């Protein structure tokens, strides 16, 4: 197969999407986000994350969807049919996990977290104290901080589960490389 004909091969887009998904998740989760948290003042970090996460979660969702649509054996090989070989079933589960984690963060957890951040900002004005200052805090701020912590935990867990699925899927892809 010549290099130009590879552009017509869906498997090429599958691999490129996988690489973009794994690389962006690895960078955002373990490099960029951590560095930003360490070097930026908290308000600037919050603004950065608030503006980065929608694009990041969209990228996770879209690249997972592209992987689904460009699966080398064809997207129908991923359908849970009794004649589907086991390897395709595991692939479909892992791609499904990646997709669900991206959609969950993009459509529900991310917007909810942004809303809680907005509410905390208003509560800070009322309380005359930042949400991250030492206590005591108002009951309203305690509730908002608790809700933010839960949402942050859910988002982090979804991101970690998706990342582990990406790594496992990468191992399965490597098994097929000859």
State residue 84's pLDDT score. Answer: 59
Where the chain has pLDDT below 50, the residues are 82
- 31 contacts: CB under 8 Å, gap ≥ 6: none
CB 78 within 8 A of CB 88: yes
Specify whether the CB–CB gap between 14 and 73 falls below 8 A: no
Query: Quick one: pLDDT at residue 89?
Result: 84
Q: What is the pLDDT of residues 58-101, one digit of tens each?
A: 999 999 999 999 998 776 666 665 455 666 788 999 999 999 99
Q: Is the pTM of this model over 0.85?
A: yes
What pLDDT does 82 receive? Answer: 46
């Amino acid at each position: 197969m010549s290099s130009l004909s590879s552009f017509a091969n869906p498997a090429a887009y599958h691999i490129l999407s996988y690489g973009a998904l794994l690389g962006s998740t690895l960078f955002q989760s373990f490099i960029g986000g951590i560095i930003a948290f360490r070097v930026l003042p908290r308000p600037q970090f919050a603004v950065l994350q608030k503006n980065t996460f929608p694009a990041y979660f969209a990228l996770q969702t879209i690249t997972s969807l592209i992987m689904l649509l460009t699966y080398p054996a064809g997207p129908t090989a991923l359908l849970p049919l009794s004649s589907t070989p086991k390897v395709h079933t595991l692939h479909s589960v892992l791609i499904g996990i990646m997709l669900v984690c991206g959609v969950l963060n993009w459509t529900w957890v991310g917007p909810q977290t942004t809303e809680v951040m907005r509410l905390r900002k208003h509560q800070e004005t009322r309380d005359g104290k930042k949400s991250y200052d030492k206590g005591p805090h108002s009951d309203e701020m305690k509730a908002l901080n608790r809700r933010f912590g839960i949402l942050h935990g859910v988002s982090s867990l979804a991101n970690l589960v998706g990342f582990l699925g990406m790594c496992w899927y990468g191992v399965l892809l490597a098994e097929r490389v000859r």
